[in-house]
């Protein structure tokens, strides 16, 4: 039985807690921690959890009955809490974004390595049947060499969204839509395509006056193998359509699931390749559906990693690769230049202070609330 402490019991925490309750034969929630303990008490009551409540994560570090710490606190606190938990010999599942800088990611990866513990970063969208199947289709090579990828990470959030105290500043949120929303699609992108070799980006804040951070960014990517890519991150898109579309030499496939295939006529003009579409669809249909999806799927994976001493699907390196692309977008958009990857300690934006010193403040954050009276969230 794996003893779990939940640190941060706000909006997203029920997804973690419900997953641990679902896997009650494998995990038990043994502590709830929040600097506002009333929130932890409220979650305990609503979800019928009988675990002690603490107001500081330090209180659980010496508790030998806790082996896994689930962190769902604001992004600027992830690295400190994760590092302390790993140093105390706990496994860690940390919400996205992994941390506020690549330097912090590297420290967390090092901490997990030294402690010999599992470190996983939440990217629950990988645990969706169509996403897993898309990855398998790409890995199969059936669409040929990928020549272009389009990522549309379109979300819509009203102006009040950034009133929450930790959102909307570079210091505590760490960034805007690219970091906190598009992170899901950037994770899927690097999982399926690998990291780009270079990128160029622009960003702005076109509709959220109570935020320093960007509410839209547009990046152009170039991959080592020659493929090009475009990635838009936005919280100003009504309809919130979200898409990844991979153009291969033989066919295009995407999420939400879609296939198109053309072949050439003698004059180069296209004609539909129905046979190939049917072949790819049959392959897609032959893959099994996931038993557990979203946070449930990822927490199943993390528990399995601990039980079998294996690496989780989304480990620290994977979380870092996603933050590396985001950091490169911030660097490029801030400095107005193309950025080459990978980014290491000599990069201009490696430390959080480097980023804070250089990024533009689009607006001054002037309104702040401790919590919303209704904190239902969609993911």
- Contact footprint for ligand NAD (CB under 6 A): 7-13, 33-36, 39, 57, 72-75, 77, 95-96, 122, 124, 164, 180, 375, 377, 379
When the beta carbons of 80 and 279 are compared against ligand NAD, the nearer one is 80
Question: Minimal distance in Å, beta carbon 81 to ligand NAD?
Answer: 6
Report the 3 state secondary structure along 279-345: HHHHHHHHCCCCCCCHHHHHHHHHHHHHHHCCCCCCEHHHHHHHHHHHHHHHHHHHHCCCEECCCCC
> In angstroms, how far is CA 265 from the centroid of its own chain?
42
For the record, the structure tokens of 61 come out as 């570090």
Question: Minimal distance in Å, beta carbon 7 to ligand NAD?
Answer: 5
Find the residue with minimal CB distance to ligand NAD: 10
When the beta carbons of 8 and 168 are compared against ligand NAD, the nearer one is 8
- 8-state DSSP, 370: S
For the record, the structure tokens of 14 come out as 């029920």
When the beta carbons of 34 and 215 are compared against ligand NAD, the nearer one is 34
Residue 120's closest CA among 291, 300, 293?
300
Question: Minimal distance in Å, beta carbon 265 to ligand NAD?
Answer: 45
Question: Minimal distance in Å, beta carbon 2 to ligand NAD?
Answer: 21
Measure CA of the first residue to CA of the last residue in the chain; give whole Å. Answer: 29
With contact defined as beta carbons under 8 Å apart, do 291 and 129 qualify?
Answer: no
Report the 3 state secondary structure along 336-368: CCCEECCCCCCCCCCCHHHHHHHCCCCCCCCCC
Question: Minimal distance in Å, beta carbon 247 to ligand NAD?
Answer: 28
Question: Minimal distance in Å, beta carbon 6 to ligand NAD?
Answer: 9
Question: Minimal distance in Å, beta carbon 237 to ligand NAD?
Answer: 17
For the record, the structure tokens of 199 come out as 């990128």
When the beta carbons of 258 and 375 are compared against ligand NAD, the nearer one is 375
When the beta carbons of 31 and 339 are compared against ligand NAD, the nearer one is 31
Q: What kind and span of H or E run contains 76?
A: none
When the beta carbons of 133 and 167 are compared against ligand NAD, the nearer one is 167
d(CA 295, CA 6): 14
When the beta carbons of 7 and 276 are compared against ligand NAD, the nearer one is 7
């Amino acid at each position: 039985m794996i003893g779990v402490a939940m640190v941060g019991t706000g909006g997203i925490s029920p997804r973690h807690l419900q997953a641990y309750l679902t896997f009650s034969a494998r995990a038990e929630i043994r502590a709830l921690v929040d600097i506002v303990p009333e929130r932890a008490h409220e979650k305990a009551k609503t979800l019928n959890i009988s675990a002690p409540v603490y107001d500081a994560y330090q209180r659980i570090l010496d508790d030998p009955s806790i082996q896994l710490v689930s962190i769902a606190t604001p992004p600027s606190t992830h690295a400190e809490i994760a590092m302390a938990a790993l140093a105390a010999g706990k496994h860690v599942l940390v919400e996205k974004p992994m941390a506020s800088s690549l330097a912090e990611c590297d420290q967390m990866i090092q901490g997990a390595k030294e402690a010999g513990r599992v470190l996983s970063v939440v990217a629950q969208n990988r645990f969706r049947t169509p996403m897993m199947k898309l990855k398998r289709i790409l890995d199969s090579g059936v669409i040929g060499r990928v020549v272009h990828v389009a990522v549309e990470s379109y979300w819509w959030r009203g102006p009040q969204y950034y009133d929450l105290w930790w959102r909307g500043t570079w210091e505590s949120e760490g960034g805007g839509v690219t970091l906190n929303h598009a992170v899901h699609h950037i994770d899927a992108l690097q999982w399926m395509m690998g990291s780009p070799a270079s990128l160029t980006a622009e960003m702005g804040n076109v509709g959220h006056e109570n935020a320093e951070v960007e509410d839209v960014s547009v990046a152009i990517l170039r991959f080592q193998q020659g493929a090009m890519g475009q990635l838009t991150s936005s919280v100003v898109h009504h309809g919130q359509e979200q898409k990844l579309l991979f153009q291969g030499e033989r066919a295009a496939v995407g999420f939400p699931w879609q296939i198109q295939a053309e072949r050439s006529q003698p004059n180069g003009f296209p004609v539909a390749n129905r046979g190939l579409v049917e072949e790819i669809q049959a392959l897609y249909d032959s893959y099994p559906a996931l038993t557990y999806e979203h946070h449930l799927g990822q927490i199943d994976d993390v528990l399995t990693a601990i039980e079998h001493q294996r690496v989780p699907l989304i480990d620290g390196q994977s979380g870092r690769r996603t933050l590396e692309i985001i950091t490169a977008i911030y660097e490029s958009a801030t400095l107005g230049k193309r950025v080459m990857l990978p980014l290491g300690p000599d990069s201009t934006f490696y430390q959080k202070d480097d980023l804070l010193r250089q990024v533009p403040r689009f607006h001054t954050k002037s309104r702040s609330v401790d919590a919303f009276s209704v904190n239902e969230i969609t993911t």
